[in-house]
Amino acid sequence: MTQAPPDSETRARLIAAGLRLFGQTGYDGTSTRALAAEAGTNVASISYHFGSKAGLRQACARDVAARVTGAIVADLPAPPSTPEAAQALLEQVGRSFVAFIVTSPDARDIVAFLVREIMTPGEVADLVYSEFLEPRHRMVCALWSIATGQPAESERVKLSVFAMIGQALYFRIGQPIISRRMGWQDIGPSEAAQIADTVAAQIRATIESQRR
């Protein structure tokens, strides 16, 4: 990263700017001039590197998929063999997911970008789905299956996992509301831990109620 050629550096800065601004103000709400200014370059660089503003949007999607997948896959051990181990792993996955989502400054932009793309399906959403969301969901379903004994691809398991993702995600989407209602100035380690506890407790309770 220290010796990156000047061309790819501008490219990288544009993707970072796209992630931040698209996430903050939306695709339509972000002008090419604002993108160029945020990246410290000229508007023409967008056309040059990505063909168009839409091309930059797609490049951002690819970057998100690659980055988040890498982060999640990195710290996942071999699949557990006992329900107890699977449950413990699920709780841990939930905790680190929440920790990443509510504390990382990058996560704010990434999640906001993803949610916006998901709400308005298009080819960018398709890319994110097949490249990132579907495989991850499938993986967590497999864990859930080991923990509960339910079939991994059953509707019950798939929906339970979506519910788990949904509650975690909401702590980022609704963060302005949550902070306000909780009386929190901002979300530090202590607040993040409380959220992680809440999510982990729900995972535990739901798994145990399904295990029979």
Partner DNA sequence: TACATTCAATCAAACGTTTGATTGAATGAC
Partner DNA sequence: GTCATTCAATCAAACGTTTGATTGAATGTA
Segment near DNA (CB under 7 A); pick from 51-59, 71-79, 113-121, 180-188: 51-59
Please tell me whether residue 1 binds DNA under the rule CB under 7 A: no
Q: Which of 15, 35, 56, 112 binds a copy of itself (CB under 8 A)?
A: 112
Q: Which of 181, 186, 189, 212 binds a copy of itself (CB under 8 A)?
A: 181
Please tell me whether residue 76 binds a copy of itself under the rule CB under 8 A: no
Please tell me whether residue 164 binds a copy of itself under the rule CB under 8 A: yes
Q: Which of 45, 87, 160, 175 binds DNA (CB under 7 A)?
A: 45
Segment near DNA (CB under 7 A); pick from 48-56, 85-93, 103-111, 113-121: 48-56
Q: Which of 12, 13, 25, 42 binds a copy of itself (CB under 8 A)?
A: 25
Distance, CA of 208 to chain centre: 26
204 phi and psi, to 5 degrees? -60, -50
SS3 for the chain is CCCCCHHHHHHHHHHHHHHHHHHHHCCCCCCHHHHHHHHCCCCHHHHHHHCCHHHHHHHHHHHHHHHHHHHHHHCCCCCCCCHHHHHHHHHHHHHHHHHHHHHCHHHHHHHHHHHHHHHCCCHHHHHHHHHHHHHHHHHHHHHHHHHHCCCCCCHHHHHHHHHHHHHHHHHHHCHHHHHHHHCCCCCCHHHHHHHHHHHHHHHHHHHHHHCC
Please tell me whether residue 54 binds DNA under the rule CB under 7 A: yes
Q: Residue 159 in 3-state DSSP?
A: helix
Site size toward a copy of itself, by CB under 8 A = 53
Q: Which of 16, 24, 34, 167 binds DNA (CB under 7 A)?
A: 34
Please tell me whether residue 67 binds a copy of itself under the rule CB under 8 A: no
Q: Which residues bind a copy of itself (CB under 8 A)?
A: 24-29, 112, 115-116, 118-121, 125, 129, 133-134, 137, 155-156, 158-160, 162-171, 173-174, 176-178, 180-182, 194-195, 198-199, 201-202, 204-206, 208-210
